[in-house]
Structure 1
Amino acid sequence: MAQSAVPSAQQSRPAPVRVPVREVVPWAVLAAVLGLVLIYFVGAEQGATSLFGGDWVHEFTHDGRHLLGFPCH
């Protein structure tokens, strides 16, 4: 006999996986802070907002700055 494409009531479905929010929130906050720091260094670390003297941060992030559309020249 051919098998039906529609599952019958007798077949069991796997239980959905529960994601514990209390375990995910600290990692999400850490990822957001790291992302903001990265965007700062790529997009704003030069000129009047510079935290570090010299051009080494600018030169290190130069290609990423152009890739993300930030002006630098």
Structure 2
Amino acid sequence: MEISAVQYESPGRGDGSRRLLKKEWVELTNTSRRAVNLGGWTLAASSTTPPGAGTATAAAATTADPVSCTRGTR
């Protein structure tokens, strides 16, 4: 699995409403040849972040299918 893109601290003024958190996201890309079970995987703001505070956990049946792509050469 590869973290292929991240959007954090979305542009805009923080007004304390946590509205901007809805615009934060992480894109994962499965670069292997097989589906990967993401069930129970957790992304957290840091290794000391308590569960539920700035964390996201994948549901039990979540899988990431492999991406089929062709890489060009220069």
* The two structures share one fold, judged by TM-score above 0.5: no
Larger RCO of the pair (alpha carbons < 8 Å, separation 6+)? 2
- TM-score with structure 1 setting the length: 0.23
Q: Which has the higher helix share?
A: 1
- TM-score with structure 2 setting the length: 0.22
Rg larger in 1 or in 2? 1
Q: Which has the higher strand share?
A: 2
